[in-house]
Structure 1
Amino acid sequence: MHNATVTSKGQTTIPKEVRDGLGLQPQDKLNFTLLPDGTVIMRAKKRQLADLQGIAGYTGPAIPVEEMKAWK
């Protein structure tokens, strides 16, 4: 278990072992979910929208948004 202290400004430092284990880099985002029993779930948000490119199996050329809107 790793511990951290909260400052008077509500800030804390994530222990190095945890940062390394999650592969966190500067500017990565963290999401916190507070459950009714007081448990907190922290998730690292490391994906960018560009990371999802190709997830639907489309392998053709990039299509500009303006052309997509014309399909309506």
Structure 2
Amino acid sequence: MRTFKVAAEGQVTLTAELLEHLGVQPGDRLVANTLPNGSIELRAAPKGKISDTFGLLHAKRKGPPLSIEEMNEIIDAAWAGER
């Protein structure tokens, strides 16, 4: 466990080791989630824009779109380790 000192401005400096573990570099963003037990979860913010993913799956699949029922069957099989 590491301890950090809070500066007068309310800032905390993370070590290079922690930043490397999170996979972040100068200029990247972090996301902090407050948890009910008083803890904070800190992780790297997603990079890129949501619009970068539009059409991503469309190009990988040939044929008509799957129905909700077909998607649910595939998901169930994956959770069961069959896929």
User: Cα deviation per residue 1:22-66 (whole Å; 9 max; x = unaligned)?
Assistant: 11111111111112220111121042117843674133xxxxxxx
- Residue equivalent to 1:21: 21
CA distance in 1, matches of 2:28, 2:38: 25
Is residue 35 of structure 1 aligned with residue 35 of structure 2? yes
| 1:63 paired residue number | none
Counterpart of 2:81 in structure 1 is none
Local SS of the residue matching 1:11: coil
What is the Cα-based RMSD across aligned positions, in Å? Answer: 2.3
In structure 2, the gaps of 5 or more residues are: 60-83
Query: d(CA) in 2 for partners of 1:7 and 1:39?
Result: 19
- 5+ residue gaps, structure 1, are 60-72
Q: TM-score, normalised by structure 1?
A: 0.63
CA contact (8 A) 1:32 1:40 kept: yes
Q: 1:4 touches 1:12 (CA, 8 Å); kept in 2? A: yes
Structure 1, 43-52 or 18-27: larger mean CA deviation: 43-52
Deviation at residue 6 of structure 1 after TM alignment: 1.0
Could you tell me the TM-score, scaled by structure 2's length? 0.56
Please state which structure has a larger fraction of its residues in helix. Answer: 2
- CA radius of gyration, larger in: 2
